[in-house]
Structure 1
Amino acid sequence: MPVRDRSKGGAARTYGDRLVLDAILFVVRSGCQWRMIPHDLLPWDAAYRWYRAWIADGTWDRVHDALRDQVRQRAGRECNPSAAVIDAQSIKSSEGGQHRGYDAGKRTTGRKRHIVVDTLGLLLVVGVTAASVQDRPGGRTVLSVLAQRFCSIALVWADGGYANSIDNSLIGWARQKLGLVLQIVKRTDDVKGFQVLPRRWVVERTFGWLVRHRRLARDYERLATNSEAMIKIAMIRLMATRLAGQSIRWSNATEREAACRATIEAHLTA
Structure 2
Amino acid sequence: MDTLQTIIGTPVEDILAIARSLGWGAAKILRSYYRGEPWQNTAQAEVEGQDKKDGPVTAADLAVNRYILDKLHTTFGDAFGYLSEETYKAKSAAIANEWVWILDPLDGTRDFIDKTGEYAFHLALTHLGRPVLTVVACPELDKLYYATLGGGAFVETPDGMSKRIHVSDRSHPQDLTVVVSRTHRDDRFNALLKQLPCQNQLFVGSVGGKIAAIVDQRADVYISLSGKSAPKDWDMAAPELILTEAGGAFTHADGSPLRYNTGDVNQWGCLIASNGTYHRELCDTANQILAELG
Q: TM-score, normalised by structure 2?
A: 0.28
- Which has the larger share of strand? 2
Larger radius of gyration: 1
Q: TM-score, normalised by structure 1?
A: 0.30
- Which has the larger share of helix? 1
